[in-house]
Amino acid sequence: MTPPLLHGLPPIIDAGARILILGSFPSVASLEAGHYYAHSRNQFWRVLAQVLERPLLSMDYEDVQAAVRQAGFAVWDVYGRCRRQGSLDTAIRDAQANDFRRLKALAPSLTRVCFNGTTAGKFAPQLAALGYETRLLPSTSPAYTLSFERKLALWKDALQPTLAAENFPGGLSTSCGDTG
């Protein structure tokens, strides 16, 4: 039996976004919850909490979205629709990519696109052709076995230097202490 066509989530984005983080497609848990990275074992919000030095894990999702926007970040997926049984990227079928040409209008300040894992990273050439700097980051999925500390270091290296000083007047520390 063919799985039903699934529809992704709307982007977390505004005109001030400078960095877009692209995943592949929301997990079953994320689709059910209606928000990104809802699976309890996915490390995305834990990583981002430490990058932003904000207690994202204890905040309501609306406040998390506001914190993401305030930091100049955006979150979206490469696929807007697909068929998939379960949550693994390897099970994605009949995928339809999101229309990335919309990004110039949605986020005119956007300069960098970071990819959360290799499935999303397959779109790096397409985004580079649109004029964006691209960066492949290790997946925050629990299925990707790189240590949390190593993932965090790579994500910080990609994200922290581009955070706006006006959003963080005191700057960001370089500590890796656990905030969540």
pLDDT for 86 beyond 80: yes
**Which of 42, 98, 116, 167 is an active site residue?**
42
Question: What value, to the nearest 5°, has the Cα angle with vertex 131 and ends 37 and 100?
Answer: 45
**pTM greater than 0.85 (yes/no):** yes
Residue whose pair of structure tokens reads 């066509």 in the numeric block: 5
Please write the tens of the pLDDT for every residue from 6-48. Answer: 999 999 999 999 999 999 999 999 999 999 999 999 999 999 9
CATH number assigned to the domain with residue range 5-162, chosen from the 4 options 3.40.470.10, 3.40.190.10, 3.40.50.360, 3.20.130.10: 3.40.470.10
Domain range summary for the chain, segments of one domain joined by +: 5-162
Contact predicate 21/136, CB 8 Å: no
Please write the tens of the pLDDT for every residue from 102-144. Answer: 999 999 999 999 999 999 999 999 999 999 999 999 999 988 8
First-last CA distance in the chain: 41
Q: Give bridge partners of residue 169 from the DSSP assignment.
A: none
pLDDT band at residue 87 using 50, 70 and 90 as cut-offs = confident
Catalytic-residue membership of 42: yes
pLDDT for 50 beyond 50: yes
As a whole number of angstroms, the distance between CA 76 and CA 74 comes to: 7
CA quadruple 139, 66, 50, 177: dihedral, nearest 10: -150
Half-sphere exposure of 55 (CA within 13 A, CB side): 3
Residue 153: which residues within 8 A CB-CB, separation 6 or more? Answer: 176
